[in-house]
Structure 1
Amino acid sequence: MVSTTYGSESAGWRGPVVDPGYLTDFARAHEQSGFDRVLIAHSASSPEGFAAAAHVLYNTERLGVLIAQRPGFIQPTLTARKLATLDNLTGAGRVAIHHITGGSDTDQRRDGDFHGKEARYRRTAEFIEVLRRTLTSGEPFDYEGEFYRFEGAFSSVKPHGEVPIFFGGQSDDAIRVGGRWADVYALWGEPLAQTRERIELIRAEAARHGRDIAFSLSVRPIVADTEEAAWDKAAAIRRAFEENLAGGNGGAAGWRIGRGENTAVGAKRLKDEADEKLIHDERLWFGVTQLTDGGGNSTALVGTPQQVADALLKYYDLGIRTFLIRGFDPLQDVRDWGEELVPLLRAGAAARERRLAPAGRG
């Protein structure tokens, strides 16, 4: 995940809201460290994502972007043309989209959306359906649904590569929508047993529609040369966040107030798991999650590069194929991960794929 300004819950935020030089350095660090793609996050008060994504794409050579957006504010036909245009301008296969239906009514209303969550999920389903048709249809089409109506919808620009459709949400409504329409279903960093359960549930929903579906996991590695040093680092991160919340740096406090109450099912799951205990599965740490409303990517894997890679690979064994990782010292963490963590994770995944390969296949 890249951002237009430096900051995190523990480090606080500093610099201009949009710092082009920092965004360039952050994107290039991901590319140099072996990342495939970076998330461009979204909120009702943050810088606009397509513009930030274009900056990332134009300042790197191969790095892809995953543009988060909330259905309901830009027409799906126009969103499709924006995605396809970026794909044509910057190189096939570098653009993907992540649909966030919205877990905070407060934040939705900042952009003028007063629909309830159930209605928002129905709207998301229609949005993705129209988006996919616009990206792929060779001729104009009509569409009439509860939220969208089009006559002769068509895009003259088509992506040269696929535009993967990511989706997140943990409610029953979310699973129905994501299982039917998503290419990649995004999960928070929960314990292995709960993650296995979610994967099985979502796969079953996708199978009802004759579909396969891939999975992404979001987690925050905290890495050091020794396990003891890593846990000390985690404790320091928590202390810094507590100080920020108490007023030592207004950035973190502003982050909590700015998003409003998070009513998402996924957030409640994380809060409940944090209340149960702070460490699950040996090194999945909920120390920062406990201080938040449960929203966002807050759970952490703590240990040496090899220990954290091994922990991530346990999720790989469950079927996760995309890891969305970000740090608490964002830019430096990405640079550090490129030295050991990313290579170890890639090597472990490749070894597993070789073992799974049918006999005689190269």
Structure 2
Amino acid sequence: MPIEFIGIAATQEISESGSATPVPAAARDGVSTQTETGHAAGPVVQPGYLRELARAHEESGFDRVLVAHSSASPDGFTVADQILTHTDRLGVLLAHRPGFVSPTLAARKFATLDAFHPGRIALHVITGGDDADQARDGDFSDKPTRYRRTDDFLDVVRKEWNSTRPFDHDGEFYRVRAGFSAVRPTAPIPVYFGGASEDAVRVGGRHADVYAFWGEPLAGIAERIREVRAAAAPYGRDPRFSVSLRPIPAATEAEAWQRAREILRLTKERAGEIRKAFNLDHAEQRGSQRLLEYAAQGEIHDKRLWTEIARTTGAAGNSTALVGSYEQVAESLLDYVALGVSTLLIRGFAPLADARDYGTLISLVRAEVAESAEAEEAPVPA
């Protein structure tokens, strides 16, 4: 199976010099305008920076970039269109929270992007694990309710994409009469799905084409793959799997650890600011809880999965790293591939520089995968 690499988009430059433009708390986006070691610099939307970052990902061999979402983020559909327009082949994984845009309209928005950029858009379903961030957009439903709503939402989205004649829908959250879209994808738009709770696995098992995990140790990922496959089996689904990691590679292992310790130092210096900037409560998110449990068990898991950033930030999102030489980090990425992972979402701590640097990792992993495939296909001597 081909290996897919996903990076991350940002509309605002990150400065690691410490002299950055202050961003009001109400306007911060913990994913796209802050990193653990950097400050948001300049306007929240910088078209030139977004184009440069997208082209860097394309040149490094990434397949897609994630356009993340929070209650303070710029509009993701507009950002996705800018990325697709200013690159030649790079795809976009567009995060979307059900509940704020009707599913029929959301389906047409995705299908319209696909019409202009065929095969380059994918939907990343983010149900929302943070009550406070949901409330900022006026949603006060609890987490189990949100997952039931997501289930209903995706039923309508697929009907809008696939129906060649008007359809009706009567669900718990959505009712549609004679729904129909004049624009439909020419090929299925992939649905990516994230979440570690029982509700997430139940709903994701029913709908996900790709189920996404944060960077847990290999045994944890193997366990989660089994859970999702079991949840998907009654629906005849066989999802693919994604793991999100923060590689810290260098020419040598010693240089990589030197950089990792510097990243940790900067993260600790900014710990209070980070919590305010991210402005999210991860205490109830099962994915964050799992990362913190692994961090409590030890600083390093498997060969080089490093948990100190997760521990320091309270596991605010994708926060476990792989530290080592380029060859060592590629080897660890391949260990996840061996478990059945086909998508690797890798992002760094200096977005633009790391997007350029990760081209080496991508080349190493793909070369090894190709070599293994050739070996498997080679005829056995008589």
Does the pair score TM above 0.5?
Answer: yes
- TM-superposed CA distance for 1:294, in Å, is 1.6
Q: How far apart, in 2, do the equivalents of 1:31 and 1:330 lie? A: 14
Q: What is the correspondence of 1:54-203 to structure 2 with a 5 Å cutoff?
A: 54-90=81-117, 92-203=118-229
Q: TM-score, normalised by structure 2?
A: 0.90
- TM-superposed CA distance for 1:255, in Å, is 2.2
Q: Between 116-125 and 204-213, report the one with greater CA deviation.
A: 204-213
Letter aligned with residue 82 of structure 1: K
Q: What is the correspondence of 1:228-243 to structure 2 with a 5 Å cutoff?
A: 228-243=254-269
What is the match of residue 308 of structure 1? 329
Q: Which secondary structure state, in structure 2, belongs to the residue aligned with residue 113 of structure 1?
A: coil
Q: How far apart, in 2, do the equivalents of 1:16 and 1:43 lie? A: 17
What is the match of residue 19 of structure 2? none
> Percent identity at matched positions?
52
- TM-superposed CA distance for 1:295, in Å, is 3.1
Q: How far apart, in 2, do the equivalents of 1:16 and 1:120 lie? A: 33
Given that residues 38 and 63 in structure 1 are in contact (C-alpha distance below 8 angstroms), is that contact kept between their aligned partners in structure 2?
yes
Q: How far apart, in 1, do the equivalents of 2:65 and 2:377 lie? A: 29
Q: Alignment length, in residue pairs?
A: 353
Q: How far apart, in 2, do the equivalents of 1:71 and 1:217 lie? A: 22
Q: How far apart, in 1, do the equivalents of 2:378 and 2:95 lie? A: 37
What is the match of residue 4 of structure 2? none
- 1:346 paired with 2:366, answer yes
- TM-superposed CA distance for 1:14, in Å, is 1.5
What is the match of residue 254 of structure 1? 276
Given that residues 124 and 193 in structure 2 are in contact (C-alpha distance below 8 angstroms), is that contact kept between their aligned partners in structure 1?
yes
Q: How far apart, in 1, do the equivalents of 2:82 and 2:348 lie? A: 21
Moved beyond 6 Å, runs of 4+: none
Given that residues 176 and 205 in structure 1 are in contact (C-alpha distance below 8 angstroms), is that contact kept between their aligned partners in structure 2?
yes
Given that residues 12 and 244 in structure 1 are in contact (C-alpha distance below 8 angstroms), is that contact kept between their aligned partners in structure 2?
no
- 1:325 paired with 2:346, answer yes
Letter aligned with residue 141 of structure 2: H
Q: How far apart, in 1, do the equivalents of 2:283 and 2:343 lie? A: 25
What is the match of residue 265 of structure 1? 286
Q: Which secondary structure state, in structure 2, belongs to the residue aligned with residue 96 of structure 1?
A: strand
Given that residues 4 and 17 in structure 1 are in contact (C-alpha distance below 8 angstroms), is that contact kept between their aligned partners in structure 2?
yes
Q: Which secondary structure state, in structure 2, belongs to the residue aligned with residue 259 of structure 1?
A: coil
Q: How far apart, in 2, do the equivalents of 1:349 and 1:137 lie? A: 38
Q: Which secondary structure state, in structure 2, belongs to the residue aligned with residue 146 of structure 1?
A: coil
Q: How far apart, in 2, do the equivalents of 1:357 and 1:209 lie? A: 32
Cα deviation digits, residues 235-275 of structure 1 (max 9, x gap): 100111111225xxx5x34323x223441111110111111
Q: How far apart, in 1, do the equivalents of 2:182 and 2:305 lie? A: 47
Q: How far apart, in 2, do the equivalents of 1:320 and 1:287 lie? A: 24
Given that residues 166 and 186 in structure 1 are in contact (C-alpha distance below 8 angstroms), is that contact kept between their aligned partners in structure 2?
yes
Given that residues 10 and 328 in structure 1 are in contact (C-alpha distance below 8 angstroms), is that contact kept between their aligned partners in structure 2?
yes
- Name the CA shift for 1:264/1:359 in 2 (closer, same or farther; >3 Å): farther
- TM-superposed CA distance for 1:354, in Å, is 3.2
- Name the CA shift for 1:162/1:357 in 2 (closer, same or farther; >3 Å): farther
Q: Which secondary structure state, in structure 2, belongs to the residue aligned with residue 288 of structure 1?
A: helix
Which of 6, 31, 34 aligns to 2:61? It is 34
> Cα RMSD between the aligned structures?
1.4
| Structure 1 unaligned blocks of 5 or more | none
Q: Which secondary structure state, in structure 2, belongs to the residue aligned with residue 291 of structure 1?
A: helix
Given that residues 101 and 120 in structure 1 are in contact (C-alpha distance below 8 angstroms), is that contact kept between their aligned partners in structure 2?
yes
What is the match of residue 3 of structure 1? 10
- TM-superposed CA distance for 1:351, in Å, is 2.5
Given that residues 271 and 313 in structure 2 are in contact (C-alpha distance below 8 angstroms), is that contact kept between their aligned partners in structure 1?
no
Cα deviation digits, residues 185-235 of structure 1 (max 9, x gap): 001100001110100111111112111110011000001110011011011
Letter aligned with residue 89 of structure 1: F
- Name the CA shift for 1:178/1:352 in 2 (closer, same or farther; >3 Å): farther
| Structure 2 unaligned blocks of 5 or more | 1-7, 15-34
- Name the CA shift for 1:73/1:281 in 2 (closer, same or farther; >3 Å): same
Given that residues 2 and 38 in structure 1 are in contact (C-alpha distance below 8 angstroms), is that contact kept between their aligned partners in structure 2?
yes
Letter aligned with residue 136 of structure 1: N
